[in-house]
Structure 1
């Protein structure tokens, strides 16, 4: 519970850092009211007042839309929340919809000023949402990462002439394909269809030559996971250069910045689930070749772990 609380706090620090509005902690009544909001037409209801709150969404920006290999469409709408009387920012409301259910899932994400009791309620809601809808957690994390990254690099990424060589994988990592099989990284070609949020086609593969330090993380899925070539006693190992971005519960984060207790996402059948980082090691080995791939929607599944393209 404490680890999830720390992860959630890190997520909200990332999400709300951009905001210039004056903030305060959300009250229990407001937190409850946000989750009780109703929508006549989610596509058109971009600004309204309810339960002492103002809900505000950019109506010119489409929702984040995801299509997994199960063929179901998932969407995430994000509303900024303000107190109706003082217009102070109190958090974010995420509205998750998918074609399997006509009823949306509402999750109120408080800002960092909220009381611990409210954070406890938020964590319970997050768990419940993950149980009710496959893909809920990974869609929300991906949407928040894109929405509030501001086009910045992942934490720990460096600037410099070698940037293009520092977002890569060694040859013996495996890429998940759209057909459910896997293929070694050094065998991936432009035009290959790989797994992600729906089938996506590899646009470009780049091989880099030199001397590259490889970092390693060992990951344990929160729940049981389907067996793959890269699981041993439910543990998953991922290796990459330190700057490569990974999708975590706290948003976009560089491989070398992952620490024990962080939460990432792993593929499990046609969906994705949370997995805890239990060990990390920098410079686990050196290699003379690394590979990077460019995808259509900015993500891929490497050794079963959801990774992001460099920006």
Structure 2
């Protein structure tokens, strides 16, 4: 009887904490409609390969973004078992509409992972019913799950109510384009045969050129999805020139620097790893395909600009390999 009462109390606390937390978070970015029952099922089915490293990614038409960029909540109970809770905000990839939260429970001893899709305040009743059922029929079967989830949601709610959620409010005010990693319609995508076409003309299943960072070789890859977004988007740019001209010739630069432009947050592959285009500084090294040698060569950034132009429609490709070439420069999906 005592255990049943404790389980009921935890269930009620978790449900109440969830409702308050969702109202506080989604009041900042309220939308006319929220998560549907079908979306709830689709989000629950998403598999995350590495919970500690995968803090932002797109899957099955959704964007998952680690809540406030926080690491996992970690709990070690008297039974010696370490339990973790990971929190992600969930957005619709098509229009970056806020849908809710994904809380993932992990038992480090058993390896058991249980996702809980927490609808936003404006969600469909079916989504809320599904979440409550999960709390009742899944949460009670795993010792320690309900208490850890209740603690995390209650603590986040308390932080928001106390004004400690400034970062969350700032995050809630993000413009849609902050989640849209894209290029203008005329951006030139390098195909697997070395030719190119505008990104606006690329279609799913097209075979484009990709770069394998492990083998440092060019490989073909299939386009799995083409994302398009309409609005007002500012493009940043970097100007590149071949490294060999800078190092092997004492005369002024012979080749006119080439421009690479995209939204400032779109990641490119530099000599030191992944970096948003807007964070790339003069002097850094990017990788570019040389059509004459069919090899990847190094180009040096000689100039950066935070604003090149504005466009009302942008595009991004999702590929099987995670990379493709724009203007023959190696870029990443997101």
Q: TM-score, normalised by structure 1?
A: 0.46
Structure showing greater relative contact order (alpha-carbon pairs closer than 8 Å, 6 or more residues apart) = 1
Q: Highest Rg: 1 or 2?
A: 2
